[in-house]
Amino acid sequence: MRQILLATFMAAGWAGTASAACTYEQVEPVAKQGQMQHRFFSACGFYEVGYMLEGNTLHFPRGGTHTVSDVSVAEAQSLLTETYGLVDVGDDTFIRTKGLFGPSR
């Protein structure tokens, strides 16, 4: 029983350390080989820069949008932030951390 508890506490401690150590060095798109690169890799995995949250609408870096209707602005922003794993990097700009599985195509 003690081993199970110890393993649980160690895993929880590691997960907390891993999330606290997440840094996103690149927070703006970069021109590369004639195109804009939005997706990067860090110790925490792939992330994508260039998202903007305006009212109930999330603006994607390549022009798409996702709007949540029939809820307050605060509820919409909370839903979009949780769904896409958005991290605020200032100036109304966000990094997406969820749902990315490799370099941009």
Q: Which residues of the chain have pLDDT under 50?
A: 1-19
- Please answer whether residues 46 and 102 qualify as being in contact, where contact means their C-beta atoms are separated by less than 8 angstroms: yes
- Please answer whether residues 66 and 58 qualify as being in contact, where contact means their C-beta atoms are separated by less than 8 angstroms: yes
Tell me the one-letter amino acid at 45. Answer: G
- Please answer whether residues 71 and 57 qualify as being in contact, where contact means their C-beta atoms are separated by less than 8 angstroms: no
Q: Which two tokens stand for residue 28?
A: 């703006």
The pLDDT assigned to 16 comes to 39
Is the pTM here over 0.75, yes or no? no
